[in-house]
Amino acid sequence: MKCLNCTAPYIDVLIECAQRDPLLKDKKCVEKLLEVIKEIRKLEVQGDDELRSIWIEAARGKISDFGNYEEYLKEETVSNYKEFVELWESYYPDEKKWYNFSFSTYGNEYFLFFDSELTFHIPNLETFEDIDSSNIELIEWLKEKINRTISRIKEDTQGYNRYISKNLPYKKRFGRILRSKYWKIFPEECQIFKEAFPGESIAILEKIVEQSVKDKSNLKIKKVSAGDYFRFCEIGYDANAYFKDKEEELTPKEKYLAMADGRDCGLRKLDETKETAFANWYKNDSHCGGHPWEICRGGNSTHISLYLYQVENDWKLRLAGSSSARVVETVKMALAFYLNNIPFVLEKAEEILRMIKGIDFIGIVPETIIPRYCYGFFPDEDRINDFMNLGFERVEEIIEKSYWYPIEEVRLIK
């Protein structure tokens, strides 16, 4: 088998090529992958759709396996050999590279993944074509790796699980670190919160948390116009001094238009003085599929929203923005609303207070997972609302001060 002893850089090229077009139509590849599936199905199911996963390794090899120094130099990717070595080690810092290979099935179709990214898809077809495929090299390597690993599990299941637990790099694992411990490693992160929120601000935030958790019935606004809503937004904007360097004076609406998402479902067109116009817009147009409540635009998890919603004949205001990247701005808005006697609820108020105090956990996810919306990977009781990858700075200190969740063990079907 040509690729049996291939090193990780070459395997990565093969994986990348396969992932560009995962759908398989060639008979030889399908037959060999079905043999892989037969082997991995000897393990107990680990999740929905017959999910099973297993760790496999490849040596990183020599630096020549990574690339040709002269070519990198010619292409001006590096300027000297030291930079070439540093580049190699940044891609392959360890002697071995670990891959999480997983399999699932749905509707008589098979799906195979490397590090959670679809790599092969076997469709539900009666016949497949007799064609040559560039995927065969990777599939033969995978088949041999899976066969060897399953044999090892059969020989000593507990020993295999101990080996994985001992040797799997932390950058491939799930963990958590207390924010205050993270701050001791990176004190500049703590300083941002300390400078923004002295003790009296924390005391007010605690009151905001209390009213938000209880969601008291008096947290209602009787009547609202578009102008009122823009004014609420302005209070939040001014609390963050977004427009302090602007020479011209902007109206509340102009500030909203400068900061908000822009897809406001026609909110900007309303008569700012008429409460009935706002109520009609809310009923008929506010749910147009736009983002009228996104008052500080950002990504899926990094924007700030100020929602207004109707409860019988009254209105409620809800402020949301708990990502660590925007939480300082959100809390400044919340404090300003409270000091201006504006009734409102702060979404995820307890989580935000714990974050500001440094008593919450930051969830650590594997390097192959984007650290957003990762709630489902962690126990509810850990109340994790913020996520990170292990990264590259002061890694050993983070590892030492973190708790690492047990790696799920594999078991053979009895």
Tell me, yes or no, whether 144 and 230 share the same domain.
no
Tell me, yes or no, whether 225 and 161 share the same domain.
no
Q: Is residue 360 part of a domain?
A: no
Smallest CA-to-CA distance from 349 within 219, 259, 239 is with 219
295-353 confidence digits (pLDDT tens) = 999 888 889 999 998 888 899 999 999 998 899 999 999 999 999 999 999 999 999 99
First to last CA, the chain: 32
pLDDT(148) > 90: yes
Q: Which domain holds residue 327?
A: 220-343
Q: Is residue 351 part of a domain?
A: no
Domain count, the chain: 2
Q: Is residue 390 part of a domain?
A: no
Tell me, yes or no, whether 24 and 161 share the same domain.
yes
Tell me, yes or no, whether 260 and 329 share the same domain.
yes
Tell me, yes or no, whether 118 and 36 share the same domain.
yes
Tell me, yes or no, whether 46 and 142 share the same domain.
yes
Residue 86 zone, left/alpha/beta (φ > 0; ψ -120 to 50; rest): alpha
Q: Is residue 107 part of a domain?
A: yes
Tell me, yes or no, whether 117 and 237 share the same domain.
no
287's CB contacts (< 8 A; 6+ apart) are 265
Q: 324, 343, 362: which is the final residue of a domain?
A: 343
Tell me, yes or no, whether 122 and 256 share the same domain.
no
Q: In percent, how much of the chain has pLDDT > 70?
A: 98
178-195 confidence digits (pLDDT tens) = 999 999 999 998 998 888
Tell me, yes or no, whether 323 and 256 share the same domain.
yes
Q: Is residue 268 part of a domain?
A: yes
pLDDT grade for 1, boundaries at 50, 70 and 90: very low
Tell me, yes or no, whether 28 and 135 share the same domain.
yes
- Angstrom distance (rounded) from CA 371 to CA 410: 26
β-sheet with 304-311: strand ranges across: 294-296, 304-311, 314-320, 345-346
β-sheet with 109-114: strand ranges across: 52-59, 96-106, 109-114, 117-122
Tell me, yes or no, whether 246 and 146 share the same domain.
no
Q: Is residue 86 part of a domain?
A: no
Return the SS3 of 317. Answer: strand
Q: 128, 153, 168: which is the final residue of a domain?
A: 168
Q: 125, 146, 168: which is the final residue of a domain?
A: 168
Return the SS3 of 314. Answer: strand
